[in-house]
Structure 1
Amino acid sequence: MDYAAALLDETRALGELFRTGDPALPIPTCPDWNLTQLFRHVGRGHRWAAQIVADRLDHALDPRDVVDGKPPAGLDAAIDWLNDGAQLVLDAIAQVGADNPAWTFLGPRPAVWWVRRRLHEATVHRADVVLALGGEFTLPPALAGDGIGEWLDLVTLRLGRDGQPLPLSDGESVHLHATDDGLGPAGEWTISRAAGAGTVSWAHEHGKGSVALRGPARDLFLAVMRRVPVADTDIAVFGDAAVWQNWVDHTAF
């Protein structure tokens, strides 16, 4: 997958939604945010990541210290600011080298790690806006599937590190199965906690699971990201639905 091109595309798509939406539009899936605040969050986030990489920081950057962290006045200028921020991420990585270690909230990672992270940040927030506008969110199955995997990486690593209660009991597992043609093994995810283990892990593998969800990758993406309840999708649930609900209730990021 061309993550760089997808980052630019998703960011542009978000900008066009901002062009047509009411700046004060509430975003139900991001409580206490309106469209302007979400737009600023994504745009500043792009520049935040770019600055971390470009300055070779070994710590988190205070968002208040992000250079040009606020969009300019004027709709066209603000959208250009958003799009330029995505390009800054790519430019910073090209400048330092894709394999150069960079700070991330999961520990040092190759600088190129930030492209995929910012891509899916833009993607999920585009979903927030489309849903707030009452539209139909679309996402290619391969991109939706990659977003699920990227999210599971973030969630499972943080669960093991932060010491918070695990969303699965001993021996429980969740299986996700995308029904889209062509995904193959990349369209299946098994999330599990081995008996006696203090961590949760996931893998691309077929499995029954304590609970299994089967449906389009886009629907699975929205459900995993806590954007829509399973009941409002075309996902079929098999097994213990309470296991899924417990997972969803305890995997806010």
Structure 2
Amino acid sequence: MTPPLTHDRYCEEIAHQVGQLRTVVTSGADLSSAVPTTPDWSLEQLARHTGGALRWAGVLVRTGAEEDVPEDRVPGFDGPGAWGDPGALDAWLAESGELVVGALREAGPDAKVWSWSGIDNAGFWARRMTHEVTVHRADATLAAGLPYEVAPEVAADAVDEWLEIVEWAQRTLPDDAVHELRGPRRTIHLHATDAGAGNRAEWLIELGEEGVSWRHGHEKATVALRGPLTSVLLAFYRRLPLDAPGVDVLGDRKLLESWLERATFG
């Protein structure tokens, strides 16, 4: 499937999202506080994970890697030496963003680069890192009690990418929990109630004997998840509870809960 955003747009969004994450880091929030949506991490660990992922992808793209690159071969992967220093963490995140965006812009979307997905080009990494930092920035803002907003076209594409990753897991990982969703035909409808993303803001996910498939569209379903697009994105990524204000679940809630439990990165 061809991503709906251009390579330049993904690069711009990575830079924007890194800037927004840096704002959280320097907001005065307690860097040692636990992140509710990723409870194994503190806010600082979350920021370091995100910056490290950006640096790793930057090395892959800059070197035209033909295979995975170990983390210990990524300069500065672990972050600044001093913990609890928002200034040092901010500077490191800024550099992390500059490194990956610079590598992606120089390479262009069609440059050959290894990926775990089988889409072996820099364009894959531009899209993947956009949504990596977009969702983890949501983790950070929710932990810090700050408002979260994301451009509608980016939010809609993040849902698309998640569904494509589920399909990838279904094709390539025989032991993945997504296979537990096979069975009689059932459907999940995601419906963004704001109009910012147009007809790309509705999804119909089919679960059947052959597995998972999906398409954009408005159809009656076994269960529907409705709300503003940002809320639908966060609930679908398990960053908001299904009973959060503004989020509505209509129909078979247990089916949606089963999906959220089993449709993961693998």
Q: Same fold (TM over 0.5)?
A: yes
Unaligned runs of at least 5 residues, structure 1: none
> What is the aligned partner in structure 2 of residue 207 from structure 1?
219
Q: Which stretch of the first structure deviates more once superposed, 243-252 or 233-242?
A: 233-242
> What is the aligned partner in structure 1 of residue 204 from structure 2?
190
Instruction: Report the Cα distance in structure 1 between the residues aligned to 2:123 and 2:134, rounded to whole angstroms.
Output: 18
Moved over 6 A (4+): none
> Is the CA contact (8 Å cut-off) linking 2:15 and 2:101 kept in structure 1?
no
User: Which of 5, 30, 45 is residue 12 of structure 2 equivalent to?
Assistant: 5
After superposition, the CA RMSD in angstroms is 1.8
What SS is found at the alignment partner of 1:109?
coil
Q: Which amino acid aligns with 2:25?
A: F
> Is the CA contact (8 Å cut-off) linking 2:55 and 2:74 kept in structure 1?
yes
Q: Which amino acid aligns with 2:130?
A: L
Aligned ranges for residues 1-253 of structure 1 at < 5 Å?
Answer: 1=5, 2-19=9-26, 20-72=28-80, 73=82, 75-163=86-174, 164-165=176-177, 166=179, 167-194=181-208, 196-197=209-210, 199-253=211-265
Q: Which amino acid aligns with 1:112?
A: G
What SS is found at the alignment partner of 1:201?
strand
Q: Which stretch of the first structure deviates more once superposed, 182-191 or 68-77?
A: 68-77
How far the C-alpha of 1:97 sits from its partner, in A, is 3.3
Q: Which amino acid aligns with 1:143?
A: V
Identity over aligned pairs, percent: 34
What SS is found at the alignment partner of 1:226?
coil
Count of equivalent residues: 251
Q: Which amino acid aligns with 1:213?
A: L
What SS is found at the alignment partner of 2:103?
helix
Instruction: Report the Cα distance in structure 1 between the residues aligned to 2:133 and 2:11, rounded to whole angstroms.
Output: 12
Unaligned runs of at least 5 residues, structure 2: none
* TM-score (norm. length: structure 1): 0.92
* TM-score (norm. length: structure 2): 0.87
Instruction: Report the Cα distance in structure 1 between the residues aligned to 2:202 and 2:121, rounded to whole angstroms.
Output: 26
Q: Which stretch of the first structure deviates more once superposed, 1-10 or 212-221?
A: 1-10
